């Protein structure tokens, strides 16, 4: 069974700083990897999806990379803002249907 | 973009009662939907895969008789928590993917249902 781990579990940074969130997975046979954002008590918002054939995806200040061979993905957030404060989750799809979620990184951007 | 609507967003019920949660795909068809459960400060745990027109597939350790899933149409799946107990209190989230586009498309999530059993 796929195991997905995220490091660090929590992160606090001053506003304006660039940061990297890490996601590792044990089974490299994935279809895709998706990054989500979750605000307290809310559902999930999809941020970026990287297909297994891709190396990275970008959306605004966000850049996600994927290295299947090493079982790693990173989410880079540029020029962080207080509104970026949330929990970030990564999830991999192995079978085409089921997602395996990471443990999440709780990000706090300090004004 | 694709939208998944989940209702209700919050529900409080007494022990022993049943609660139904609805998950609708608003602008796409979904032959498969997924139900997750999230405890405080923990990640999402897949409970079951809901299949349109057939029985749901439950993950190990999830009681199928307690968490009844019905996927009667291509846009609606329901999760019924039967004879709820306080330990069933949790955040339940559904998700779906556009069936016509397959695994290359993002999985979309509902906003979740906060269930509190008193």
Mean pLDDT of chain B: 89
Q: For residue B104, is pLDDT > 80? A: no
Contact (Cβ atoms closer than 8 angstroms) between residue B15 and residue B118: yes
Interface contacts A/B by beta carbons within 8 Å: 56
- Write the DSSP symbol of residue A60: T
CA of B25 vs chain A CAs: smallest distance (Å): 15
Q: For residue B84, is pLDDT > 90? A: yes
B50-59 pLDDT, tens digit each: 888 888 999 8
Mean pLDDT in residue range A9-28: 95
Q: Which pLDDT score is estimated for B2?
A: 64
Q: Which pLDDT score is estimated for B102?
A: 59
Q: Which two tokens stand for residue A99?
A: 């997602």
Cite the DSSP H helix spans in chain A: none
- CA A110, B110, A92, A1 torsion-angle sign: positive
B50 neighbourhood in chain A, CB within 8 Å: none
Q: For residue B103, is pLDDT > 60? A: no
Tell whether B109 lies on the interface with A, counting CB pairs under 8 A. Answer: yes
The Cβ-side half-sphere exposure at B53, using a 13 Å CA radius, reads 3
Tell whether A104 lies on the interface with B, counting CB pairs under 8 A. Answer: yes
Contact (Cβ atoms closer than 8 angstroms) between residue B4 and residue B21: no
Q: Which pLDDT score is estimated for A111?
A: 96
Q: Can you tell me the distance from the alpha carbon of B12 to that of A66, in angstroms, rounded to the nearest whole number?
A: 41
Sheet containing A62-67: which strands, arranged edge to edge?
A4-7, A19-25, A72-77, A62-67, A56-59
Task: Tell me how crowded residue B40 is: count the other CB atoms within 10 A of its CB.
Answer: 7
Q: Which pLDDT score is estimated for B105?
A: 66
């Amino acid at each position: 069974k796929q195991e997905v781990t995220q490091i660090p579990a929590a992160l606090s940074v001053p506003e304006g700083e660039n940061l990297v969130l890490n996601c590792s997975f044990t089974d490299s046979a994935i279809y895709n990897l998706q990054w989500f954002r979750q605000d307290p008590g809310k559902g999930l918002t999809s941020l970026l999806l990287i297909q297994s054939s891709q190396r990275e995806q970008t959306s605004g200040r966000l850049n996600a990379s994927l290295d299947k061979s090493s079982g790693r993905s990173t989410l880079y957030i540029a020029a962080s803002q207080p509104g970026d404060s949330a929990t970030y989750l990564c999830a991999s799809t192995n079978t085409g249907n089921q997602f395996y979620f990471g443990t999440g990184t709780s990000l706090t951007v300090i004004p | 973009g694709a939208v998944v609507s989940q209702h209700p967003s919050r529900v409080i019920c007494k022990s022993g009662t049943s609660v139904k949660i609805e998950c609708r795909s608003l602008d796409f068809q979904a032959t498969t939907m997924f139900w997750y459960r999230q405890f405080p400060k923990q990640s999402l745990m897949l409970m079951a895969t809901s299949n349109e027109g057939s029985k749901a597939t439950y993950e190990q350790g999830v009681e199928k008789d307690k968490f009844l899933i019905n996927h009667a149409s291509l846009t609606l799946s329901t999760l019924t928590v039967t004879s709820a107990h306080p330990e069933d209190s949790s955040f339940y989230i559904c998700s779906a993917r556009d069936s016509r586009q397959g695994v290359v498309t993002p999985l979309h999530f509902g906003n979740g249902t906060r269930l509190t059993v008193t």
